[in-house]
Each structure stands twice: as structure tokens, then as C-alpha cells.
């Protein structure tokens, strides 16, 4: 159901919700008569729309999403009940009042089957219609309050569980006896597989020399929230902080070592969102969560003593054989291009540099063709993985075009392949970003993360992060935070709600993180901002 419009609160801080209504009747006198007769503001209705036909009504619903509709039964093209039937396929929550000039039982029966909320006979009694509309508003209010109460209880429970989970994980990596005693209860409560292989990673952010303690704390909290969305939200591991405040991720492992790919994606998103690429210091893989302390101690030892035996994310293995110098260069180009899906200009710039390298190394035509096809295939696979779109026919056409091609032609046809692959993407990109923005704007109280939004729109988190930043100039997570702070500012200015309540309403479960984010964007605490805004 569409989101209702929230207005300023009353004297006790209660938020007044305003709703939207649509009047559908092919007789102008009737629909305008209803529109002009009702005291809409006193009935908590802010916007009144009219439509002369079912077709017009569908367009109004699509654009404005009213919560209440009054419709006549007898209309040309499509009857009112047919319109209701179409609406019910998409919207179960709209409150519908049906008007008819015919006192026929079959109409009433069909209306009930379509879950119509009231059935009034013409000529319409103004008081009766007013009572019916007020009843629908009252039902919407009751539904809204139940939903908000349910969300508050759910979020409060979730915060308490998360705190308990992190406390236990700190006991576990410290090998405290209490952790061993309570492990069965912990596994049962959080539904973890205690026998599964796990591996810890210490996430070490890039140092910002100019940062003050508040900015550094806010950045660490933001990193932690992104990790929770990417790792815990996808059930790929557990994020928590150790006794020194460092972010620890206990990854669930499998034979394909997917935790390493996930960590690469995580680092890329953190780099996109915060412009500061961290590194992950790995511990060893251990069977069973009860042995996680060993993996953690390995990672800490590697960090503190800089042991080369443990891998560091994005560190090249300098001992690899360099049998083919250009193959090393080619791998770098391939990695750079597949990592730039969603950044069209950057990708084509890298391909231009690849062409220059081909000329510089004076590669043979055959070797160039092989490299071009391998590069195009890698880009296509990365694009397909990120977007779910298919263009196999383009890849087949490229293979035929490359057959027997000289070096220059091979580069040219590969560039044309890439151009075709991404040609139709721009419109879809802007549409996707628009949908994500609307989702954020209408659901600030929910647990919104780059990962959860990407999942809703069937793309990968990295792809969404890069696209969003390219189109809007700011990171997706940054946009979520900015919109939450804007909403919090409005509520602080116009209500007497407590700061903690406002934090929950804009999606912050942690009051400390909310205060840090608010101060980061406004330069003052929520309480100070309210005092200044309300002239106290």
C-alpha cells in the first residue's frame, strides 16, 4: 500500500497522518459534488483526486497511489467492479467504497467478494458518505499503528539480539569458559551450524590522518553497518567488534572459498562508498565455531607481527613465475575491466590502454585475437553475473568476426562488441537508480543496506554501488544516511518526539550511531539541533 503523507504533530507529539482519496464517476456533477462537499482536512485527507473513467483512475493510482477510492459501479468502457478487480490484483490494502444507483443483491455480493469495504446507494446521503470515509481513515490509522508497533518491537528485539550475539562472539574468540558452557544455547538461538568451517578476517580500515575521534568513530560504525548488510544480511558470516574495537568478520567457509570473493566485493563496496580501501587480515580456516579463537589469534598475530605467511587482500604474490611478461600485464587489464562493470567510461578508457599495450609489445595477430576474446568473455561474464541479462549472440558474433582478423581489426571488433553490450544500459541504469531512490525515500525506518537493495532489484551489491555513485555522484549508503538525517531534522523541528524514537523511525537501531551520523551532517547533536530549531 502507498505510504501516507506525514504532517506536523499535535500538541502531544503524536504524528498526524494525512491520506489520499480518489473519486471515480463518469458523471462530472457527482464526482465534483463529492469533492466539494466533504471537509477533507478535518477527516485527515490531504489530497483529493478525481477520474471520469476506469482508465483515468488507473493512471491516477499509478502516479499518486491513493489509499482510499470511491467509485461508481455503472461506467462506460469498464465498470466500477471490474476496476476494483484489477486493483485487487496489485493492491490488497486500498480501502474501497462503491456507489450504485441500483439496489441489486448480485452487485453487493460481487462487491463483497472483491473485498470492498462499503457499498452505498445513490442518491448519496452526505452524512452517510462522510461516516464511511471517516471509517476507512480510522481503519487505515489502526493498521498503521499496529504496523509501527510491530516494527518497533521487532527492531528492539533485533537490537537486543545483535548485542547479545556480539557479546558472545567476543567471549568465543577470547576462549572464555563461559562461551564453551553457553555454546549449545547460542547455536540454538541463532540457528548457526556449529560444525561448519569458519575463518576470521580482521578488517583494517585505511588510516585518515586528519580525522578527529568523532569522524573516525562514525566511519567505523558506517563500515560495520555495511558489513552487517553484506555478510550477516546474506547469512555468509557474523560481524562483530573485538575488545579493542576492531571489526572482526567470522566468515562461513565452503570448498569453493566463496568467502574470499565475498571479502573482495566487500572491500570494493567500502572503497566506493567511503573512498578508503581497507584490507582484510585473514586467520586460518578452522572446523567448528568453538575453534574460532584459534583463527582469530592467527589473524591478530599476522597483524601485529606482519607475518608474510598470511594472505592480505589485493597483495600480489611476487613469487609467481613470470613466464610471459605480457600475460601478467593482460591479467591486470582483465581484472581492471571486469571490476569496472557499471562504469562505462572507465572501462573503455582501460580498453584503450590495453590497445596501446598490444601495440607497445608488438603482439602477433593470433595472440591479439586470443587476448581480445578472453577479455571480452571475462567482461561479458562479469556483466551477466551482475545484471542477469544475456547477450550470447553478441559473443558468438565476436568470435566469428575475430577469426583471421589482423591485430587492428581484432581490437576494433572487440571494442564494437563492448559498445553493443552496454549500449542499451544507460536508460535502464537511470531507471534502476530512480527505483532505488524511491524505495529508500518511502522506507527509511527499515533496515536498508546496499546489499538488501541490490537483492530486491536482482543485481549484485557492487554493481548497484558503482552505478548509483556514477549516476548521482554519491554512494548508495551515503544517500541512505543523508535521507535519514533529513527526515530526522524535520521530525526534530516539528515534533516533541524523543530523539530515541526519531532514531528508530529513520532506521537507526543504535542511538550512538544516530547521534554520530546526525552530528556529522549537521555539526550538532540532535538535542542541540532541536533547541536551536525550536528557539529554546
Task: Give Dmax over CA atoms of the chain in angstroms.
Answer: 91
- Closest C-alpha to 55, from 73, 78, 72: 78
**DSSP symbol at 496:** -
Q: What's the pLDDT score for residue 342?
A: 67
Most confident of 144-153, 319-328, 335-344: 335-344
Give the residue carrying C-alpha cell 570494493: 268
Beta-sheet pairing, 5-9 with 15-24: antiparallel
pLDDT digits (tens, 9 = 90+) for 71-119: 888 776 777 778 888 888 777 788 989 887 765 556 656 666 667 888 8
Q: Please answer whether residues 99 and 25 qualify as being in contact, where contact means their C-beta atoms are separated by less than 8 angstroms.
A: yes
pLDDT at 318: 34
Q: Report the C-alpha gap between 218 and 226 in whole angstroms.
A: 12
List, as own/partner pairs, every contact residues 227-230 make where C-beta atoms lie below 8 angstroms and the sequence separation is at least 24, other chains included: 227/203, 227/266, 228/449, 229/447, 229/449, 229/450, 229/451, 229/452, 230/262, 230/265, 230/266, 230/269, 230/449, 230/450, 230/451, 230/461
Phi, psi (degrees; rounded to nearest 5) at 502: -65, -40
Residues 39-61: tens digit of each pLDDT? 998 899 999 999 998 889 988 98
Distance CA 1, CA 18 (A): 14
What mean pLDDT is predicted for residues 452-457? 86
pLDDT higher than 50, residue 312: no
For the cut 60, the answer to whether the pLDDT of residue 452 exceeds it is yes
Examine the pLDDT at 313 and tell me if it is beyond 50.
Answer: no
Q: Which residue has the higher pLDDT, 473 or 501?
A: 501
Please tell me the predicted confidence (pLDDT) of residue 69.
Answer: 92
Host H or E run for residue 379: helix 365-387
Residue 323 has pLDDT above 50, yes or no: no
Question: Would you place residue 407 in the very low, low, confident or very high pLDDT band (cuts 50, 70, 90)?
Answer: confident
Rounded mean pLDDT of 296-307? 78
Rounded to the nearest 10 degrees, how much is the dihedral formed by the CA atoms of 239, 242, 246, 251?
A: -30
Q: For residue range 128-139, list pLDDT tens digits in order.
A: 999 999 999 988
Mean pLDDT over residues 293-308, rounded? 79
In this prediction the pTM is: 0.51
pLDDT mean across residues, the chain: 81
Burial (CB count within 10 angstroms: exposed 0-12, middle 13-18, buried 19+), residue 207: exposed
Q: Is it the case that residue 427 has pLDDT exceeding 60?
A: no
pLDDT tens track for 4-35: 544 444 433 444 568 999 999 888 888 899 99
Q: Using alpha carbons only, what angle is made at residue 386 by residues 384 and 390, rounded to the nearest 5 degrees? A: 20
- CB count, 10 Å around CB of 235? 10
pLDDT in tens, 189-233: 888 888 999 999 999 887 655 667 778 888 888 888 889 888 988
Among 312-321, 332-341, 481-490, the least confident range: 312-321
Alpha-helical runs (H) found in 392-424 = 392-402, 407-423
C-alpha span between 443 and 466 (Å, rounded): 22
- Please give the residue that has the higher pLDDT: either 79 or 152: 79
Report the pLDDT value the prediction gives residue 182, as an integer from 0 to 100: 92
Nearest to 51 by CA among 77, 28, 68: 28
pLDDT greater than 90 at residue 170: yes
**Residues 374, 334: contact at Cβ < 8 Å?**
yes
The closest alpha carbon to 7, from 67, 36, 47, 50, belongs to: 47
Does residue 157 carry a pLDDT above 60? Answer: no
pLDDT at 14: 44
Tell me the percentage of the chain whose pLDDT exceeds 70.
Answer: 83
E strands of 228-269, at which residues? 237-241, 247-252
Least confidently predicted of 175-179, 329-333, 469-473: 469-473
Q: How far is C-alpha 348 from the geometric centre of its chain's CA atoms?
A: 28
Cα gap 505→486, rounded to integer Å: 12
Helices (H) and strands (E) in the chain, counts: 21, 10
Helices within 80-204 (DSSP H only): 80-90, 105-113, 126-173, 177-190
Contacts of 253 (CB under 8 A, 6+ apart): 196, 197, 198, 199, 259, 285
385 vs 282: which has the higher pLDDT? 282
Give the separation between CA 101 and CA 69, rounded to whole angstroms: 18
Amino acid at each position: 500500500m502507498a505510504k501516507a503523507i506525514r504532517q506536523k504533530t499535535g500538541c502531544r507529539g503524536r504524528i498526524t497522518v494525512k491520506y489520499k482519496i480518489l473519486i471515480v464517476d463518469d458523471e462530472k456533477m457527482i464526482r465534483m459534488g463529492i469533492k466539494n462537499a466533504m471537509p477533507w482536512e478535518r477527516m485527515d485527507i490531504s489530497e483529493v483526486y478525481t477520474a471520469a473513467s476506469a482508465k483515468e483512475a488507473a493512471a491516477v493510482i499509478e502516479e499518486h497511489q491513493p489509499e482510499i477510492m470511491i467509485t461508481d459501479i455503472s461506467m462506460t468502457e469498464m465498470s466500477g467492479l471490474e476496476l476494483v478487480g484489477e486493483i485487487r490484483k496489485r493492491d490488497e490494502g486500498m480501502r474501497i467504497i462503491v456507489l450504485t444507483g441500483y439496489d441489486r443483491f448480485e452487485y453487493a455480493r460481487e462487491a463483497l467478494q472483491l473485498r470492498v469495504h462499503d457499498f452505498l446507494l445513490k442518491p448519496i446521503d452526505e452524512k452517510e458518505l462522510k461516516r464511511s470515509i471517516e471509517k476507512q481513515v480510522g481503519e487505515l490509522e489502526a493498521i498503521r499503528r499496529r504496523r509501527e508497533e510491530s516494527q518497533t518491537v521487532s527492531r528492539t528485539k533485533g537490537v537486543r539480539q545483535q548485542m547479545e550475539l556480539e557479546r558472545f562472539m567476543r567471549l568465543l574468540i577470547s576462549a572464555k569458559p563461559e562461551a564453551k558452557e553457553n555454546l549449545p544455547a547460542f547455536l540454538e538461538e541463532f540457528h548457526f551450524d556449529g560444525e561448519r568451517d569458519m575463518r576470521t578476517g580482521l578488517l583494517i580500515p585505511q588510516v585518515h590522518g586528519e580525522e578527529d575521534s568523532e569522524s573516525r568513530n562514525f566511519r567505523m560504525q558506517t563500515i560495520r553497518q555495511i558489513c552487517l548488510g553484506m555478510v550477516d544480511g546474506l547469512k555468509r558470516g557474523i560481524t562483530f567488534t573485538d575488545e579493542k574495537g576492531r571489526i572482526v568478520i567470522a566468515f562461513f567457509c565452503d570448498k569453493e572459498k566463496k568467502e574470499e570473493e565475498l571479502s573482495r566485493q566487500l572491500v570494493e563496496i567500502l572503497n566506493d562508498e567511503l573512498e578508503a580501501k581497507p584490507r582484510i587480515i585473514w586467520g586460518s580456516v578452522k572446523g567448528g565455531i568453538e575453534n574460532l579463537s584459534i583463527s582469530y589469534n592467527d589473524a591478530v598475530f599476522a597483524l601485529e607481527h606482519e607475518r608474510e605467511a598470511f594472505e592480505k587482500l589485493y597483495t600480489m604474490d611476487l613469487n609467481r613465475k613470470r613466464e610471459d611478461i605480457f600475460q601478467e600485464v593482460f591479467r591486470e587489464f582483465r581484472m581492471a575491466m571486469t571490476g569496472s562493470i557499471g562504469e562505462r567510461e572507465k572501462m573503455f578508457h582501460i580498453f584503450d590502454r590495453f590497445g596501446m599495450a598490444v601495440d607497445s609489445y608488438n603482439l602477433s595477430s593470433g595472440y591479439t585475437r586470443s587476448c581480445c576474446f578472453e577479455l571480452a568473455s571475462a567482461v561479458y561474464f562479469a556483466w551477466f553475473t551482475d545484471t542477469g541479462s544475456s547477450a550470447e549472440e553478441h559473443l558468438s558474433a565476436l568470435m566469428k568476426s575475430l577469426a583471421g582478423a589482423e591485430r587492428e581489426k581484432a581490437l576494433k571488433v572487440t571494442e564494437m562488441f563492448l559498445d553493443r553490450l552496454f549500449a542499451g544500459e544507460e536508460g535502464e541504469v537511470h531507471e534502476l537508480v530512480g527505483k532505488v531512490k524511491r524505495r529508500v525515500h518511502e522506507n527509511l525506518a527499515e533496515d536498508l543496506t546496499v546489499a538488501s537493495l541490490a537483492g530486491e532489484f536482482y543485481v549484485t551489491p557492487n554493481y548497484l554501488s558503482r552505478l548509483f555513485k556514477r549516476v548521482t555522484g554519491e554512494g548508495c549508503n551515503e544517500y541512505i544516511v543523508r535521507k535519514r538525517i533529513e527526515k530526522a531534522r524535520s521530525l526534530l523541528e516539528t515534533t516533541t518526539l524523543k530523539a530515541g524514537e526519531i532514531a528508530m523511525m529513520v532506521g537507526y537501531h543504535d542511538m550512538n550511531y544516530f547521534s554520530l551520523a546526525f552530528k556529522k551532517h549537521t555539526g550538532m547533536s540532535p538535542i542541540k539541533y532541536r533547541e536551536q530549531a525550536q528557539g529554546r
